[in-house]
Amino acid sequence: MDFNDTPEEAKFREAARAWLAANAPKHEAYSQEDFLKAAKAWQLEKYNAGWACLRWPVEYGGRGASAAEAAIFAEEEAKYSLPTGPFTIGQGMAAPTLMAYATDEQKKRYLPKLASGEEIWCQLFSEPAGGSDLAALRTRSVRDGDDWVINGQKIWTSGAHYSDFGILVTRSDPNVPKHKGLTYFFLSMKSPGVDVKPIKQISGQSGFNEVYFTDVRIPDAQRLGEVGQGWTVSLTTLMNERAAIGGGGGLGFDTAYALAKELEIDGKPAIADRAVREQLADWYCKESGLQFTRARTQSALSRGETPGPENSIGKYVGAKKTQDIASFCMELIGMAGVCMDKDLAALGGLLPQSYLGAPGGRIAGGTDEIMLNIIAERVLGLPQDIRVDKGIPFNEVPTGN
Amino acid sequence: MNFEFSEEQNMLRDQAVSFLKDKSPLSVARKILEGNEPYDKALWKDITDLGWTATTIPEKYNGLGLSHLELCVLAEELGRALTPVPFSSSLYLATEAILAFGTDAQKEAWLGKLAQGQVIGTAAVAEGPGEFSPTKVGASVKANRLSGTKIMVPDGDIADFAVVVAGGDAGLSLFLVDLNQPGVTRTSVATIDPSRSHANLAFKDAEAEPLGKAGEGASLLSQLFDRAAVLFAFEQVGGAEAAMNQAREYALGRYAFGRPIAGFQAIKHKLARMYVAIQLARSNCYYGAWALSSGAPELPVAAATARVSASQAYRECAEENIQVHGGMGFTWEFDCHLFYRRAKLLAVNLGGESTWKNRLISSIESDRAA
Ligand SMILES: Cc1cc2nc3c(=O)[nH]c(=O)nc-3n(C[C@H](O)[C@H](O)[C@H](O)COP(=O)(O)OP(=O)(O)OC[C@H]3O[C@@H](n4cnc5c(N)ncnc54)[C@H](O)[C@@H]3O)c2cc1C
């Protein structure tokens, strides 16, 4: 057990640190309005210097680095507040699916532009009738010559309004059981018949959208995987999704700790209060538990092993922790804790913003309940839930609201 | 970075697993729990013959000179098997204290015997109910003679010597005290987990020899507890995982409403949450193991983190294991209560969850102030 970098890793970290120190700070200041521009500028800066999508092969815009190196760079990059969000889906979920299923030509065309941040991708999976039960989706694809014709509706599509391309799962055959009748594509979001309508979220912002498809034509060449194999292809995306968003992130111990030192309870610093200390310790243990679970995964990767299922806990633990910390900190501040006026609120309103954003973390990318089901079934080998739709042709399955 | 146990360490684990499977099934813990013996003497002899008690003791004292990582591996497996022997007292407390603070002469006197299992050691700290506080220690040493009482000393009825916290001429200090002398009276006490014995100790002018720097008792004890906490945490993770596995096995075999109860989401999610708690604790334990074995300055934070999350995981797994078993879980006959008892015993042995949470924040505060 050696928690220190190997000499090569240390050299790599040194180089990453030096480059970040020279280049990252000027990308830290940006406003909500020019978030996208700022994100693209930072991504391009990384790409030009060879620090984008490190594990990807050089010909696709990466640098063929090891898993350990990629992890080191991510760790160092996370020390800055940089705008990277818009690329999570494209680089973290669409790209691995393209690597596995696209043709060489397609990979050469799309991956480098994903790496440079020139093109942004979104994930057109969830539908009004298919969220947790993704395979219950209804958006239809019908073959017509060399094309497919798509009709239906997606929902909760993050970033659809600024995306250039999307990965899309559709129902190509409603006459077979639900998992068997799906087909997977990618398409340009500028295709005629694609209509993006923003949805206003709890926070008041519109990060996600409804996307309507009316007779949208997709060339068969943009199909990923075989006809009817869309579920298998989707699983590649979903596995990578859990890795991409599994890091936890969000509001953390440090914020709560700093506040507890600054604010008072009973005329003494809140940090002196035993209940506050216990609460803080609990979050510290969760954070460090997640951090070292990632470290275990990384060492499995650097030994060339497939990581075990430990990482499946990241999003589940991290999302709720963020929600709890936001809630606790607002109460620590007291009556002013709910103030969202930018100029008056503590930390510029970060806490209520996190509080309002946190429920999304517990839903997006698989709800808490679905994550527990996954751990129970895939890790602990417990029986699947009873499925009344099992083996029944999709068009005979009962539906609700 | 390599954040896993090595191949050799995992081989040691395999050996430990098969030895304990053979010699320390849960029926052995139960035998001690139900009987009058304080520990399983034959098993303890086997364990000392295997050299486990010699693990971290340097070769010049007839030890194996292995690292604390090996000891962590053994701790986890002993915790999993609920093995009823004085391993934690003799190794995590007594041996650690002498290794860390002993003079050459003290090491010469004790380590060889500890390695070979000729003596059993322990630590005597608490004197009454409530969180331990260095300012409230009544036991005191004058002219190398100790008087006072210590309560709930793990293996206090069988140990040959104890590391005792007491006031001295220079203030609070640690002392080595032979427990087989006339000035020591031992009274066995019933505890929630009779598979591990405890005793109250009364000292009257008992001979005591200083261990470590005089007057530094609070700091030395704190260092000792940091070291022990990592090892206790490994035992706790082992126990937690065993309890989870027991719940899983039972849930798969028990049918209700025409199907295995393992198929009900309330049960599935319970088991999944046990798994989550264990993973968090295990990862924190690995960090603790690294800090302990490499002498890293991060040890106080790493130890407290491992300790808190391991106590949490064991509590959750032991409690929910009974719940998953329904009425069977509440019987004497089923083994669920063995884990439930041990979980609480280990949780309070070094001071409870709240104490360690408090320590954790204190360590973070002093790190960040530096
Ligand atoms: C911020 C945000 C961003 C998102 N971005 C995207 C995106 O970019 N692309 C995309 O395709 N989707 C996206 N989603 C959608 C997300 O994947 C779904 O919302 C999620 O999978 C849940 O589906 P649902 O909303 O239909 O809820 P439902 O599936 O209707 O769930 C409702 C409740 O029922 C519970 N439930 C459902 N099934 C089970 C079960 N089997 N066992 C136990 N409980 C169950 C759920 O846990 C939940 O509590 C996003 C969602 C959010 C909140």
* CATH number assigned to the domain comprising residue B108: 1.10.540.10
Residues B222 and B365 placed together within one structural domain of the fold: yes
The per-residue pLDDT for range A164-194, each reduced to its tens digit, is 999 999 999 999 999 999 999 999 999 999 9
Three-class secondary structure of residue B160 per DSSP? coil
Mean pLDDT of A275-289: 97
For residue B241, is it within any domain?
A: yes
Residues B90 and B174 placed together within one structural domain of the fold: no
Residues B134 and B266 placed together within one structural domain of the fold: no
The per-residue pLDDT for range B41-68, each reduced to its tens digit, is 999 999 999 999 999 999 999 999 999 9
The model's confidence at residue A20, banded by pLDDT at 50, 70 and 90, is: very high
Three-class secondary structure of residue A88 per DSSP? helix
pLDDT at position A147 over 90: yes
Residues B267 and B363 placed together within one structural domain of the fold: yes
The per-residue pLDDT for range A365-375, each reduced to its tens digit, is 899 999 999 99
Give percent of chain A above pLDDT 70: 97
For residue B189, is it within any domain?
A: yes
The model's confidence at residue A308, banded by pLDDT at 50, 70 and 90, is: low
| Nearest by Cα to B196 from B239, B157, B228, B149 | B157
Mean pLDDT of A195-199: 98
Give percent of chain B above pLDDT 70: 100
**How many Å from the N-terminal Cα to the C-terminal Cα in chain B?**
26
Contact A372, A316 (CB under 8 A): yes
Mean pLDDT computed over every residue of chain A? 93
pLDDT at A27: 94
Contact A297, A262 (CB under 8 A): no
Identity of the residue in B279, B293, B364 whose CB atom sits nearest the CB atom of A1: B293
For residue B233, is it within any domain?
A: yes
Count of Cβ atoms closer than 10 Å to residue A200 Cβ: 10
For residue B285, is it within any domain?
A: yes
pLDDT at A245: 65
pLDDT at position A262 over 90: yes
Residues B287 and B331 placed together within one structural domain of the fold: yes
pLDDT at B2: 81
Residues B135 and B210 placed together within one structural domain of the fold: yes
Domain final position from B82, B115, B148:
B115
| Nearest by Cα to B153 from B121, B190, B208, B201 | B201
Overall size of chain B counted in residues: 370
Q: Using a 6 Å cutoff on CB, does residue A385 contact ligand 1?
A: yes
A14-18 long-range CB contacts below 8 Å, 24 or more apart? A16/A51, A16/A72, A16/A73, A16/A76, A16/A77, A17/A76
Three-class secondary structure of residue B83 per DSSP? coil
Residues B236 and B353 placed together within one structural domain of the fold: yes
Provide Rg for chain B, Cα atoms.
20
For residue B1, is it within any domain?
A: no
Q: Which of residues 230-289 of B touch A (CB under 8 A)?
A: 248, 251-252, 259-260, 262-263, 265, 267-269, 271-273, 275-276, 279-281, 283-284, 286-287, 289
| Nearest by Cα to B32 from B90, B76, B85, B88 | B85
Which uninterrupted H or E stretch holds B149? strand B145-154
> What CATH number is associated with residue B359?
1.20.140.10
Token digits of residue B122: 């322990």
Triad A230, A236, A238: Cα angle to 5°:
95
Residues lower than pLDDT 50 in chain B: none
Q: Using a 6 Å cutoff on CB, does residue A6 contact ligand 1?
A: no
Q: What are phi and psi of B166, to 5 degrees?
A: -155, 160
Residues B274 and B351 placed together within one structural domain of the fold: yes
Instruction: In whole angstroms, give the CA distance from residue B269 to residue B320.
Output: 11
For residue B255, is it within any domain?
A: yes
Inter-chain residue contact A293 with B280, CB threshold 8 Å = yes
Count of Cβ atoms closer than 10 Å to residue B41 Cβ: 11
> What CATH number is associated with residue B206?
2.40.110.10
Residues B233 and B342 placed together within one structural domain of the fold: yes
Number of structural domains chain B divides into: 3
For residue B251, is it within any domain?
A: yes
pLDDT at A298: 80
CA A364 to centroid of chain Cα atoms:
8
Q: Which domains does chain A have, with CATH numbers?
A: 7-119 (1.10.540.10), 122-232 (2.40.110.10), 246-379 (1.20.140.10)
Domain final position from B115, B133, B155:
B115
Bridge partner list, A171:
A140, A182
The per-residue pLDDT for range B79-116, each reduced to its tens digit, is 999 999 999 999 999 999 999 999 999 999 999 999 99
Range of the domain at B144: 121-215
Which residues of chain A make contact with B273, given a CB cutoff of 8 A? 372
Mean pLDDT of A327-339: 96
User: What is residue A3's DSSP assignment?
Assistant: -
Contact A173, A228 (CB under 8 A): yes
Provide Rg for chain A, Cα atoms.
22
Overall size of chain A counted in residues: 401
Bridge partner list, A212:
A153, A195
Residues B228 and B346 placed together within one structural domain of the fold: yes
Domain final position from B75, B95, B115:
B115
* Among B9, B275, B314, B320, the residue to mutate for chain A (most A Cβ within 10 A): B275
pLDDT at B205: 98
pLDDT at position A248 over 60: no
| Nearest by Cα to B84 from B338, B320, B267, B313 | B338
Contact A271, B361 (CB under 8 A): yes
Q: Using a 6 Å cutoff on CB, does residue A125 contact ligand 1?
A: yes
pLDDT at position A314 over 70: yes
For the CA of A159, the closest atom of ligand 1 is 8
The listed range with the strongest mean pLDDT (A19-33, A248-262, B145-159) is B145-159
Q: Is the dihedral of CA B92, B94, B99, B100 positive or negative?
A: positive
Residues B362 and B250 placed together within one structural domain of the fold: yes
For the CA of A128, the closest atom of ligand 1 is 26
Alpha-carbon dihedral of residues A263, A266, A271, A275, nearest 10 degrees? -130
Contact B31, B43 (CB under 8 A): no
For residue B2, is it within any domain?
A: no
Residues B192 and B301 placed together within one structural domain of the fold: no
Identity of the residue in B273, B283, B284 whose CB atom sits nearest the CB atom of A372: B273
Q: Using a 6 Å cutoff on CB, does residue A158 contact ligand 1?
A: yes
Q: How far is it between the farthest Cα atoms of chain A?
A: 76
Q: Is A241 a catalytic residue?
A: yes
Bridge partner list, A122:
A166
pLDDT at B370: 84
Contact A53, A115 (CB under 8 A): yes
